[in-house]
Amino acid sequence: MKSNPILKELIDWILHIAIAVLAGIFVVTFVAQRTIVDGNSMVPTLYNGDQLIVEKITPRLGKLKRGDIVTVYIPELLGEGKEYVVKRIIAMEG
């Protein structure tokens, strides 16, 4: 039985799209994510509407230090539709 070239091409496309989607999910979950500043609490460093790429590897390695800017998930402080707050580390234990 001959293989259908159109079917082979379709399977190839589906495989490549699936790999791209999985790679995107991996990057957003573990490596970096885009976010938008909402509010003026970080002026003059960051302004309302600024777009940021949040790098996620440093916190996982425990290499944060005083003065770093971080995003923090605090459900009690967030309004509807907000996910994270952007703040600067001013003190650390130890």
Q: Which residue intervals of the chain are DSSP H helices?
A: 5-26, 57-61
Query: Per the residue annotation, which of 3, 41, 65, 82 is the catalytic one?
Result: 41
Peptide bond into 5 cis (omega under 30): no
* Residue 41 among the catalytic residues: yes
CA distances to 7, 20, 39, 77 from 55, in Å: 40, 20, 20, 22
Of 86, 70, 89, the closest CA to residue 78 belongs to 86
Catalytic: 87?
Answer: yes
What's the token pair of residue 50? 């600024």
Active site residues: 41, 87
